[in-house]
Structure 1
Amino acid sequence: MSSPDLYGLRERFETDNILLCFNGPISRSLIEEIGNALKNYLKSEQLSPASALDVFAAYIELTQNIRHYATTSQLPGADTATVIVSHSEDCYRVAAGNIVKLDDGHALVARIEAFAKMDKVELKAAYKTQLRQPRDENAVTGAGLGLIDMARKSSKPMQSTLRDIGDGTAYFSLSIQI
């Protein structure tokens, strides 16, 4: 096994203004530790408290969704996440990805595309409608508010990709700009 080109990786991080990058199995404690590092970085950058909270909230939502999906789907490799936080042109981008079942990925991409067509007023209405929906006590997922909330906080429509990787699985990624 050859040694990785760390300088080349560093150069790529600088070119793409990547502040934080993680690739590997995600756990609750790891989400918390990386989140603390992100909070400290945002504080040092003197980002407005509201913007810092939005960036942090997007990171938490994305990573917790991956962890929850990995637990409920029991799909091998679904707990291995790639998470990137970058900064450019006065905005932050939070992106995360993991392996999903192909059908689940298509459904998620369709939802995100629907949100991308909504303006802020429509997203607020969708959020309120979802908030009022009765929760199924036996449901294994949350109320579904997190994705809508991220769409509301994003300064541009969320972007998602789905790459078929065979055997009924795909690599799903979601990116939010704040």
Structure 2
Amino acid sequence: MNASDLYALRERFNQDRTLLCFNGPISRSLIEEIGNALKNYLEIDQARPAEAMDVFSAYIEMTQNIRNYALKNGYGDTDAAATVVIARDPEGRYTVTVGNRVELADGERLVRRVAELASMDKAELKAVYKTQLRQPRDPSAATGAGLGLIDLARRATAGIEATLSPHGDGRGFFSLSVVI
């Protein structure tokens, strides 16, 4: 990337009101460091405490899911990379958007689940959360109780959305965005 391309990227970030952007392999310590930076940005941006907590919680949930998925699938650094963007939309709401490479079947399942959750109102999401909370967990399951996506949908003030871009190698790029 040359200097003029970097300037154009900076201008795009400013235009999109991007607070934080990261792209690359993600580790537990990096999630923590970016989280600390995010807390500082939210403080400087004078986010309301409840709003800041929702943004931070969404960031943690989303990035930990990416890291756990990459570890579970034995991905190397290239495939274990995450893209994270936190910005403000024109209405002043925060958007937390993350993406990573996934197996196509996993991505398709996630896109369907997110669409299902996005179609629910707050009362339906609360009921689904409580039902999921009461479900017995399979001790041999590699993932959690399935509450993370439901919780993200509950925190969203203006929606949750997922997309999948297939890459022809049995994998695709999964993107998840939540507006808080």
TM-score, L = length of structure 1: 0.96
Which residue identity is paired with 2:27?
Answer: S
Q: Secondary structure at the match of 2:142?
A: coil
1:165–1:171 CA contact under 8 A, matched in 2: yes
Structure 1 CA distance for aligned equivalents of residues 45 and 7 of structure 2: 25
**Residue 24 of structure 1 aligns with which residue?**
24
Gapped regions of structure 1 (runs ≥ 5): none
Whether 1:125 and 2:127 are equivalent positions in the alignment is yes
Number of positions where the alignment pairs a residue of Structure 1 with one of Structure 2: 177
Could you tell me the percent identity over the aligned residues? 60
Superposed, which structure 2 residues align to 1:1-178 within 5 Å? Answer: 3=2, 5-76=5-76, 77-88=78-89, 89-178=91-180
Displacement, 1:157? 2.3
Structure 1 CA distance for aligned equivalents of residues 12 and 88 of structure 2: 14
CA root-mean-square deviation: 1.1
Deviates more, 1:81-90 or 1:27-36: 81-90
Displacement, 1:78? 3.2
Deviates more, 1:128-137 or 1:74-83: 74-83
Structure 2 CA distance for aligned equivalents of residues 67 and 78 of structure 1: 11
- Structure 1 stretches of 4+ with a deviation exceeding 2 A read 75-78
Gapped regions of structure 2 (runs ≥ 5): none
Structure 2 CA distance for aligned equivalents of residues 54 and 161 of structure 1: 22
Displacement, 1:41? 1.2
